[in-house]
Amino acid sequence: MTDEFDVISPETIREGRATDAYFDRTMEALEHAGKNPDVVAEVTASQFATGEWNLLAGLKDAAALLDGRAVDADAIPEGRLFDGGPVMRIEGPYREFCRLETALLGFLSHPTGVATRALETRHAAPDSTVLSFGSRHVHPSLGAMIERSALLGGLDGFSNVAAEDATGRTAGGTMPHALVICFGRGNQEEAWRAFDEGVPAETPRIALTDTYSDEVDEAVRAAETIEDLDGVRIDTTGSRRGDFRHILREVRWSLDAHGHGDVDVFASGGLGPEQLRDLRDVVDGFGVGSYVSNADPLDFALDIVEVEGELAAKRGKLTGKKAVYRTADGGHHIGLADREAPEDAESLMEPLIRDGEIVREFDLDAAIDRAAADAEAVGFTSENAEAE
């Protein structure tokens, strides 16, 4: 029995040991044959446009993986949407990055899935506060990735304290049901009061008001217990929820009727874009968990498309170095890199690595702004994303 967690260390990933075994066999065979061809390899989810937009994330870690390797790389910036075609291109001696493929794809695939789900959620409630509550649903070693990707997709904050270092943001959160339960049934006021008196002054006073009794009853009681209550959160489990919209409307009505119109109402618990669209006009904000954190990774692949300057590709893949463009009408276009670009098109591929050194800055705020602007440019909506 070991006291270590089942986590692959950053050092192991950098060394190329977080790899599929057949890449070890590939290296052994190439070394035996004395071959190390210069190649062009591209990371692609689909060869042609599919009508399904995804938001690129994870590029910061992918760049760190390639740092110090004798390669050049170009990539679409984090926070750009793409619809088919390559998102990254690597050029150099194949043995320089052969063993890195497994980790590289993981660094891009999972964050991109999470960021895309976050963007869908953002667009489902564009005027509401939406927080990421989902890191409890994934392996703890992924917490920072989940929260950074959620912010990239436009969510307003997150709950995982350990993600503060990776994001430069402060985690947020107030109270769980466990706090109320520790004081016992009928003693909710004691729990709310202890929270109000015990936590730092800058912590928003948001009371959880559905632990033991009716949500309306507890919401009004909490507002009368804490003098400057900022809001109440309703997190009723789905099996006891009934018509959640009606419950939330009743909470809002009763708070107003008792003179607590300045107390906000927040909803959480198993919510996704469909629920946010339905509830956004009756609450002030949401906590979204598994819909974002449990997103399926996007199925990226890395394929060699040129060898020693000659076209090369496996069956079913498009040969040759490619370029991707955003046109003025928001279109996403894929073409051979040595051909003329579409009229009034912006090239999305930008330098990432040159001679083994990272040549790009990774500013989270800039990426968040880029994602919001690009979503508007391409006409991204949560309804379209879910339909796909």
Spatial neighbors of 240 by CB under 8 A, at least 6 apart, are: none
Q: Is the dihedral of CA 321, 325, 331, 335 positive or negative?
A: negative
> Mean pLDDT over residues 304-315, rounded?
95
The span from the CA of 120 to the CA of 52, in Å, is: 12
The span from the CA of 85 to the CA of 98, in Å, is: 21
Each residue's pLDDT tens digit, 73-84:
999 999 999 999
Each residue's pLDDT tens digit, 265-295:
999 999 999 999 999 999 999 999 999 999 9
The span from the CA of 44 to the CA of 248, in Å, is: 44
33, with CB counted inside 10 A (0-12, 13-18, 19+), is exposed
Query: Percent of the chain having pLDDT more than 70?
Result: 98
177, with CB counted inside 10 A (0-12, 13-18, 19+), is middle
Give the per-residue pLDDT at 309: 95
Residue 369 CB neighbours (<10 A): 13
Give the per-residue pLDDT at 387: 47
Q: Judge whether 167 and 149 are in contact, CB under 8 Å.
A: no
Average pLDDT of the residues of the chain: 95
The span from the CA of 340 to the CA of 343, in Å, is: 9
Q: Judge whether 234 and 209 are in contact, CB under 8 Å.
A: yes
In the structure, what pLDDT confidence band is assigned to residue 51 with cuts at 50, 70 and 90? confident
Chain mean position to CA 55? 9
* Ordered structural domains, the chain, with CATH: 10-114+297-387 (3.20.140.10), 126-293 (3.20.20.70)
Each residue's pLDDT tens digit, 335-371:
999 999 998 899 999 999 999 999 999 999 999 999 9
> Mean pLDDT over residues 197-226, rounded?
96
Give the per-residue pLDDT at 381: 84
The CA–CA distances, whole Å, from 268 to 208, 243, 265, 275, 315 equal: 10, 14, 10, 10, 47
Residues facing 346 on adjacent strands: 326
The span from the CA of 228 to the CA of 187, in Å, is: 20
Each residue's pLDDT tens digit, 103-114:
999 999 999 999
